[in-house]
Structure 1
Amino acid sequence: MTAAATIGVETPLQEDVAVLLSLADAVAARLYPEAQRRPITPESLAVPGTPILVARIAGAAAGLRAVIEHGAGAVELKRMIVAAEARGRGVGSALVRGAESEARRLGARAIVLEVGSRNTEAQALYRRAGFTCRGPFPPYRALPVSLFLERAIPA
């Protein structure tokens, strides 16, 4: 039996977390032209109001997800990645559940996110988690490569 992932809020200024962010950028680079990507650095995420959830399996960073406070009762989920060796082990679902707990702690009533139209694996995960389509939200605008999803947080 393999160990389950533990989810915790951590600083993005750790080497293993930076590796996961680089992996997320590499996946985006494979799917989208440079003009349609938004690279993120550990430093840009190391700000108040941006909890970084890190999934660890046996102490190793296996995935991450940023939760950004948007105000008006919503949080945005951003930059989720699961390391290749951890895929199929429930890490993505655990990160979504952890993000919902964090959103609830922050007092949010809804979770919003943008996902690339070519990122079918992530889309399937979000749909299984109950996310539905919506229009763009600030600071985004409609683009052919972007889908916008949301989910209410149950009371």
Structure 2
Amino acid sequence: MTTSIAIETPLQDDVRELVALLNDHLLPLSPLEYQFKMTVEQMADTDTTLFVARDETGRAVGMGALKMHGEGLGEVKRMFTRPEVRGQRVGRQLLESIVTLAQERRLAALMLETGTGEGMAEAHRLYTRYGFTPRRAFLDYPESPWSAFFELQLGVERAA
């Protein structure tokens, strides 16, 4: 499958569909108070850049965002790929796009919060294979058994 990745507005019907699919996936995995979702309207703020992956037909098959927090810190948000394209490196391509933009913006670190449990195992593998390491909660996220936190120092070599 040929995939293209581009910065796009989240205010599109097919991106809204991806967000709904992601939210549906997350719903049974943890209590709502430990699901730190962004709406498409929040994703459209100037502090957030959304990457959308599209297949050769133009269908949106994945997304991921970089949210800027100032002081050299960026956060990976709303990473998702459709189940039928998992294992085809679409998530890796999205993550690479986010990291590249973070480097262009001279950020010192990228962090992320994600869920725990079997439903998040693929995401954890993606992040750790890329070079993210576990860390404690950051910003205003609470420590909880429902969240896993990761960090990537941008000056560090990453595994291929």
Question: TM-score with structure 2 length normalisation?
Answer: 0.90
In structure 1, what is the equivalent of residue 149 of structure 2? 148
Q: After superposition, what is the alpha-carbon deviation per residue over 1:31-76, rounded to whole angstroms, capped at 9, x for unaligned?
A: 1122322333211111102000111111111100111001121100
Q: How many angstroms apart in 1 are the aligned matches of 2:138 and 2:85?
A: 31
In structure 2, what is the equivalent of residue 137 of structure 1? 138
Deviation at 1:140, TM superposition (A): 0.7
RMSD: 1.3
Q: After superposition, what is the alpha-carbon deviation per residue over 1:72-115, rounded to whole angstroms, capped at 9, x for unaligned?
A: 21100011100112111110100110010111122212110011
Is 2:42 aligned against 1:41?
A: no
Q: How many angstroms apart in 2 are the aligned matches of 1:12 and 1:90?
A: 22
Q: For 1:108, what is the secondary structure of its paired residue? A: coil
In structure 1, what is the equivalent of residue 81 of structure 2? 82
In structure 2, what is the equivalent of residue 102 of structure 1? 101
Q: How many angstroms apart in 1 are the aligned matches of 2:28 and 2:88?
A: 23
In structure 2, what is the equivalent of residue 70 of structure 1? 69
Out of 7, 10, 14, which is 1:9 matched to? 7
Q: For 1:144, what is the secondary structure of its paired residue? A: coil
Deviation at 1:30, TM superposition (A): 2.3
Q: For 1:51, what is the secondary structure of its paired residue? A: strand
Unaligned runs of 5+ in 2: none
Q: How many angstroms apart in 2 are the aligned matches of 1:104 and 1:86?
A: 27
Unaligned runs of 5+ in 1: none
Q: For 1:31, what is the secondary structure of its paired residue? A: coil
Kept in 1, the 8 Å contact 2:37–2:78? The answer is no
Q: How many angstroms apart in 2 are the aligned matches of 1:141 and 1:63?
A: 28
The runs of 4+ residues in structure 1 deviating greater than 4 Å are none
Q: How many angstroms apart in 2 are the aligned matches of 1:34 and 1:133?
A: 23
Q: Across the two proteins, how many residue pairs are aligned to each other?
A: 153
Q: Percent identity at matched positions?
A: 37
Q: For 1:126, what is the secondary structure of its paired residue? A: helix
